[in-house]
Amino acid sequence: MALVHATLLFPNLLFFFFSQVSYATDTITHSQPLSDGSTLVSKDGTFELGFFTPGSSTNRYVGIWFKNIQTRTIVWVANRNNPTKDKSSTLSLTEEGNLVLLNINRSLVWSTNTTSKEPVSSLVVQLLDSGNLVIRDGSNDKNEESFLWESFDHPCDTLLQGMKLGWNLKTGLNRFLTAWKNWDDPSSGDFTSGVKLGTNPELAIWKGSVEYYRSGPWNGIFSSGVFGFSPNPLFEYKYVQNEDEVYVRYTLKNSSVVSIIVLNQTLYLRQRITWIPHTRTWSVYQSLPQDSCDVYNVCGAYGSCMINGSPVCQCLEGFKPKSVQNWNAMDWTQGCVHKEPWSCGVKNKDGFRRFVGMKMPDTTHSWINTSMTLEDCKAKCLNICSCTAYANLDTSGGGSGCSIWFGDLVDLRVSESGQDLYVRMATSDTIIYNDAKHKNSKKVVLMVAIIVSLVVMMLMGFSYIYMTKTKKEEEKDEGEQENLELPFFDLATIINATNNFSIVNKLGEGGFGPVYKGTMLDGQVIAVKRLSRSSGQGLKEFKNEVILCAKLQHRNLVKVLGCCIEGEEKMLLYEYMPNKSLDSFIFDSVQSKLLDWPMRFNILCAIARGLMYLHQDSRLRIIHRDLKASNILLDNNMNPKISDFGLAKMCGGDQVEGNTNRIVGTYGYMAPEYAIDGLFSTKSDVFSFGVLLLEIISGKKNRTITNEGHIDNLIGHAWRMWKEGTPEQLIAPSLVDSCKISEVIRCIQVGLLCLQHHPDDRPNMTSVIVMLSSETILSQPKVPSFLIKNISIEGEQSCDRQESCSINEVTVSLLNAR
Ligand SMILES: *[C@@H]1O[C@H](CO)[C@@H](O)[C@H](O)[C@H]1NC(C)=O
Ligand SMILES: *[C@@H]1O[C@H](CO)[C@@H](O)[C@H](O)[C@H]1NC(C)=O
Ligand SMILES: *[C@@H]1O[C@H](CO)[C@@H](O)[C@H](O)[C@H]1NC(C)=O
Ligand SMILES: *[C@@H]1O[C@H](CO)[C@@H](O)[C@H](O)[C@H]1NC(C)=O
Ligand SMILES: *[C@@H]1O[C@H](CO)[C@@H](O)[C@H](O)[C@H]1NC(C)=O
């Protein structure tokens, strides 16, 4: 689920493929209803209202869409929760001035709820150029703003330019977005988004009645929790708060750009999966929540979330975990407490510590004053014993106003657009921070002295290195071997070691090229991965990537020993793993007997630890994107090591969370949002881990299997067994004797949780490790993602960097199979 800000450029350049057989009109009146097959079009031709059938549904709905945008984008649905089944319904205006939808036998399907004093003959229903469907007095053309009813007051999942999101305090009308249930079903889903009322209102997203995300209160610019809303040429937000209304709305600055906000229920809602090359598509400008730190209150009270931190949650300075044990196990829910309680009432004892760049805490228990200065604000907070923090209310124009908080500070994070938050401390805690200028002047002098001498030393150090380097560069004509940590080998050495890439030395063929065994002159045995040519990346970026990957060292990651770049050739040198890969054990009827349950359980936990290291290492945050049994190598003691990490990026996939046009991965292991939308995140790795886990337990590959009349894959099979209460039937026969049934069942449950359809429902690797190694009660998995069952797997081809596996093909095969 995400609140998505999608933008379409140059809509007027779009081709127009709809066959225009329907009859279009510009008003609905009492004497002129609209029947299925006809449409109502806005004056400027931007919007169209009519009957439609979403996706593979058979229901008919009345909705509004962009007339000129080829990818049908529904922005409003009238009868979202009351579909009609027949294609002969009509939309008409009743005597009372209500717009009603009647089905074939004239029974009421849906209706507006207004009471009009106007004579019905003068009323018209019109679709305005803004996309607002209104009932108004047709005889009064001037008075555009007074409507009997308007669709803008009843939003669905889309916020158009000019729509208000928020409250009319006089009438109690609350306009909020509600996501579609799924692509085929516009009825109200679980997620809603709107303005949370309170002393200091803010934008929020709820899942059911549970708060899921909050933006932080309005701070004059946008809000301290949302990045990227600084003034820009595309849109402008306006926030209004007065006695009558509290709302936010946006306007677009350039009328040739179409940009809307959509609350999506699932990650692959609608148009995304029917993307066709050569035509324009919606591009996502911004999504909320932005990252895992945006999950409501992840770190507990006084815990601050730092997306690049490891772990992401840290207690604020001056606070300590409430339960050290839980905190260290990465269960942050209990949050933090003051190291030392403040002594309210004793004059001049308490102080404040300033935290820079913070998203403001939950405003449920807060108080504001728009005219107070920051000094008054501090004094006010000091005078109230339960006051825990204060801050400026408005940060635009240097800061003004006052917000103060009572009780625990909840849902804190470090944010790019954050502001200063002053948190109350006991005196002893803050003495240095409060009055640092006077009391520490001596210290400052000392530090300056130290810094100066350090700088001098560094200068000397630099010139030394610089001089030696220049010498070296003179010796080596290319001068690019400057990195001492990662040896670069020349091609001749590698050719020699691998016997000129002899077929005898070939260990296998991975996603990015063949792997050879090599023996160096000193006897060291290595594995050489010869990367397929024509990678999209430049030489320099490639080298940087290799160096970064070589720095990743973990006992469950294969060690990168060096690389070789010459001309078109790019090679990576790894430590050699004599026991080959995990797939040669678990899927082989003979070899699989060598791995009993305790060993497999160890392997599972070790892979999880390696993956967590990749995901959490603060410098890199590597997403593997091709985790599978053949990428897990085993050392002499059967310890697993993950290989091929970082290759997705080195070979041209862009390794940031988000969206890629080039899918790197293996059918059967790919998370649905990655296979379909190309969206990847650490959670798509978690999905692959789930598949791997089931494979390790069952000894079966996740490919289409026919089982007692069901066409299924391993995930579907596991889910069926789980539902039927017989998960133990999944266990490979060779394991039955060595395993502890309860332990395996726990693992299966963890696996199913990793395979949840929605990435947010999957645990992260940290939680997976905790779940595998403790006795805590696990949540019940929902239906996992079955998507893969629709793809027939032929030889488990890895999608290489070639165009062999574009998004379209994946999508097409999915649609065909439905
Ligand atoms: C009216 O039509 C609906 C289907 O559109 C049908 O279920 C219902 O039985 C019909 N009612 C009458 C009175 O014919
Ligand atoms: C129509 O509005 C009235 C009062 O304004 C309310 O009591 C009634 O429940 C509404 N009906 C529907 C179907 O929303
Ligand atoms: C509006 O956007 C179009 C397309 O991006 C651009 O060509 C045009 O210059 C923009 N106009 C203004 C006034 O910014
Ligand atoms: C959300 O929905 C919009 C419009 O329906 C779509 O274009 C977009 O791709 C969806 N976003 C995600 C992240 O699925
Ligand atoms: C806000 O503070 C100012 C100055 O201290 C004061 O005059 C005013 O009454 C306060 N307003 C509210 C609503 O408390």
Q: Are 126 and 26 in contact (CB under 8 A)?
A: yes
Confidence of residue 188 (pLDDT cuts 50, 70, 90): very high
Residue nearest to atom 9 of ligand 3 (CA): 254
Find the catalytic residue in 362, 626, 644, 712.
626
User: Which ligand is the nearest neighbour of the Cα of 402?
Assistant: 5
18-33 exposure pattern, b = at least 16 Cβ within 10 A, e = fewer:
eeeeeeeeeebbbeeb
Asked if residue 267 has its Cβ within 6 Å of ligand 4, the reply is yes
One-letter amino acid for residue 46 of the chain: T
Strands 513-519, 149-150: pairing kind: unpaired
Mean pLDDT of the region 671-684: 83
Within 10 A of 705 (CB to CB), how many other CB atoms are there?
15
The CA 102 to ligand 1 mean position distance, Å, reads: 11
Provide the angle, in degrees to the nearest 10, between the axes of the packed helices 682-698 and 741-754. 150
Confidence of residue 173 (pLDDT cuts 50, 70, 90): very high
Is the pLDDT assigned to residue 131 strictly greater than 90?
A: yes
Mean of all residue pLDDT scores within the chain: 77
Mean pLDDT of the region 154-175: 92
Quote the pLDDT of residue 551.
Answer: 78
- DSSP letter for 602, please: H
Residue nearest to atom 11 of ligand 3 (CA): 254
Quote the pLDDT of residue 690.
Answer: 95
Asked if residue 604 has its Cβ within 6 Å of ligand 4, the reply is no
Q: How many angstroms separate the CA atoms of 727 and 725, rounded?
A: 6
Which three-class secondary structure string do you get for 31-95? CECEECCCEEECCCCCEEEEEECCCCCCCEEEEEEECCCCCCCEEEECCCCCCECCCCCEEEECC
Provide the angle, in degrees to the nearest 10, between the axes of the packed helices 597-616 and 765-773. 150
Q: How many angstroms separate the CA atoms of 556 and 577, rounded?
A: 12
Quote the pLDDT of residue 405.
Answer: 94
Is the pLDDT assigned to residue 348 strictly greater than 70?
A: no
Percent of the chain with pLDDT over 90: 25
Structure tokens of 144?
């555009």
Burial class (CB in 10 A: 0-12, 13-18, 19+), 477: exposed
Confidence of residue 80 (pLDDT cuts 50, 70, 90): very high
Between 738 and 65, name the one with better pLDDT.
Answer: 65
Asked if residue 458 has its Cβ within 6 Å of ligand 3, the reply is no
Residue nearest to atom 3 of ligand 3 (CA): 256
Q: How many angstroms separate the CA atoms of 206 and 171, rounded?
A: 23
Asked if residue 480 has its Cβ within 6 Å of ligand 5, the reply is no
User: Which ligand is the nearest neighbour of the Cα of 393?
Assistant: 5
Asked if residue 260 has its Cβ within 6 Å of ligand 4, the reply is no
Confidence of residue 748 (pLDDT cuts 50, 70, 90): very high
Asked if residue 369 has its Cβ within 6 Å of ligand 5, the reply is yes
- The listed range with the strongest mean pLDDT (7-16, 288-297, 497-506, 659-668) is 497-506
The CA 755 to ligand 4 mean position distance, Å, reads: 22
Residue nearest to atom 12 of ligand 4 (CA): 267
The CA 254 to ligand 3 mean position distance, Å, reads: 6
Question: Which domains, and CATH codes, for the chain?
Answer: 1-154 (2.90.10.10), 155-290 (2.90.10), 296-434 (no CATH), 484-575 (3.30.200.20), 583-812 (1.10.510.10)
Q: Are 284 and 278 in contact (CB under 8 A)?
A: no
Asked if residue 183 has its Cβ within 6 Å of ligand 4, the reply is no
User: Which ligand is the nearest neighbour of the Cα of 88?
Assistant: 1
Mean pLDDT of the region 223-231: 71
Pocket test for ligand 3, best of 256, 259, 285 (most atoms within 8 A of CB): 256
Between 748 and 437, name the one with better pLDDT.
Answer: 748
Quote the pLDDT of residue 444.
Answer: 35
Is the pLDDT assigned to residue 398 strictly greater than 70?
A: yes
Asked if residue 269 has its Cβ within 6 Å of ligand 4, the reply is yes
pTM: 0.55
Residue nearest to atom 5 of ligand 4 (CA): 270
Confidence of residue 390 (pLDDT cuts 50, 70, 90): very high
Q: How many angstroms separate the CA atoms of 254 and 268, rounded?
A: 28
Is the pLDDT assigned to residue 315 strictly greater than 60?
A: yes
**CA dihedral sign of residues 196, 201, 205, 206:** negative
- The listed range with the strongest mean pLDDT (80-89, 646-655, 667-676) is 80-89
Cα-Cα-Cα-Cα dihedral of 733, 738, 740, 744, to 10°?
-50
Structure tokens of 505?
């030395």
Quote the pLDDT of residue 21.
Answer: 46
Q: How many angstroms separate the CA atoms of 307 and 293, rounded?
A: 6
Q: How many residues does the chain have?
A: 818
Ligand 5 atom closest to Cα of 376? 5
Ligand 4 atom closest to Cα of 679? 13
The CA 234 to ligand 3 mean position distance, Å, reads: 9
Mean pLDDT of the region 263-268: 60
Element (H, E) at 262: strand 257-264
Quote the pLDDT of residue 652.
Answer: 52
Q: Kindly give, in sequence order, each residue whose CB lies less than 8 Å from that of residue 306, ignoring residues fewer than 6 positions away.
A: 293, 312, 313, 314, 413, 414
Asked if residue 42 has its Cβ within 6 Å of ligand 4, the reply is no
- DSSP letter for 98, please: -
The CA 289 to ligand 4 mean position distance, Å, reads: 14
Q: Are 47 and 85 in contact (CB under 8 A)?
A: no
The CA 341 to ligand 5 mean position distance, Å, reads: 30
Quote the pLDDT of residue 472.
Answer: 40
Between 119 and 719, name the one with better pLDDT.
Answer: 719
Asked if residue 254 has its Cβ within 6 Å of ligand 3, the reply is yes
The CA 262 to ligand 1 mean position distance, Å, reads: 35
Within 10 A of 708 (CB to CB), how many other CB atoms are there?
7
Mean pLDDT of the region 534-539: 60
Out of 122-126, 542-546, 633-637, 734-738, pick the least confident.
542-546
Burial class (CB in 10 A: 0-12, 13-18, 19+), 330: middle
Q: Give pLDDT tens digits for 598-628.
A: 899 999 999 999 998 888 865 667 888 889 9
Pocket test for ligand 4, best of 272, 276, 681, 684 (most atoms within 8 A of CB): 272
Between 133 and 786, name the one with better pLDDT.
Answer: 133
Residue nearest to atom 1 of ligand 4 (CA): 264
Q: Are 150 and 161 in contact (CB under 8 A)?
A: no
The CA 418 to ligand 4 mean position distance, Å, reads: 27
Is the pLDDT assigned to residue 809 strictly greater than 50?
A: no
Asked if residue 256 has its Cβ within 6 Å of ligand 3, the reply is yes
362 labelled catalytic: no
Q: Give pLDDT tens digits for 625-641.
A: 889 998 899 888 888 99
Residue nearest to atom 2 of ligand 5 (CA): 372
Decide: helix, strand or coil at residue 609.
Answer: helix
Burial class (CB in 10 A: 0-12, 13-18, 19+), 210: exposed
Q: Kindly give, in sequence order, each residue whose CB lies less than 8 Å from that of residue 649, ignoring residues fewer than 6 positions away.
A: 545, 622, 655
The CA 270 to ligand 4 mean position distance, Å, reads: 7
Pocket test for ligand 5, best of 372, 375, 393 (most atoms within 8 A of CB): 372
Nearest Cα residue to 558 out of 577, 536, 585, 538:
577
Residue nearest to atom 1 of ligand 3 (CA): 254
Q: Give pLDDT tens digits for 757-793.
A: 899 999 999 889 888 887 778 889 988 886 543 443 3
User: Which ligand is the nearest neighbour of the Cα of 233?
Assistant: 3
Provide the angle, in degrees to the nearest 10, between the axes of the packed helices 741-754 and 597-616. 30
Q: Are 283 and 262 in contact (CB under 8 A)?
A: no
Asked if residue 257 has its Cβ within 6 Å of ligand 3, the reply is yes
Quote the pLDDT of residue 272.
Answer: 23
User: Which ligand is the nearest neighbour of the Cα of 11?
Assistant: 3
Mean pLDDT of the region 227-236: 71
Q: How many angstroms separate the CA atoms of 712 and 748, rounded?
A: 17
Structure tokens of 31?
């004497």
User: Which residue matches tokens 């804190």?
Assistant: 412
Between 468 and 382, name the one with better pLDDT.
Answer: 382
Q: Give pLDDT tens digits for 6-36.
A: 555 433 333 333 334 456 788 888 888 999 8
Question: Which residues lie with the beta carbon below 6 Å from any ligand 1 atom?
Answer: 85-86, 103-105, 107
Peptide bond into 289 cis (omega under 30): yes
Ligand 4 atom closest to Cα of 267? 14
Please list the alpha-helical segments (H only) found in 517-571: 539-551
Residue nearest to atom 4 of ligand 4 (CA): 262
Ligand 4 atom closest to Cα of 260? 4
Confidence of residue 143 (pLDDT cuts 50, 70, 90): low
Quote the pLDDT of residue 142.
Answer: 59
Q: How many angstroms separate the CA atoms of 129 and 125, rounded?
A: 13
User: Which residue matches tokens 């403040």?
Assistant: 342
Q: How many angstroms separate the CA atoms of 490 and 636, rounded?
A: 29
Is the pLDDT assigned to residue 657 strictly greater than 50?
A: no
Q: Give pLDDT tens digits for 276-303.
A: 223 456 776 677 777 778 888 889 999 9
Confidence of residue 37 (pLDDT cuts 50, 70, 90): confident
Quote the pLDDT of residue 591.
Answer: 84
Is the pLDDT assigned to residue 733 strictly greater than 50?
A: yes
Quote the pLDDT of residue 803.
Answer: 27
**CA dihedral sign of residues 555, 561, 562, 563:** negative
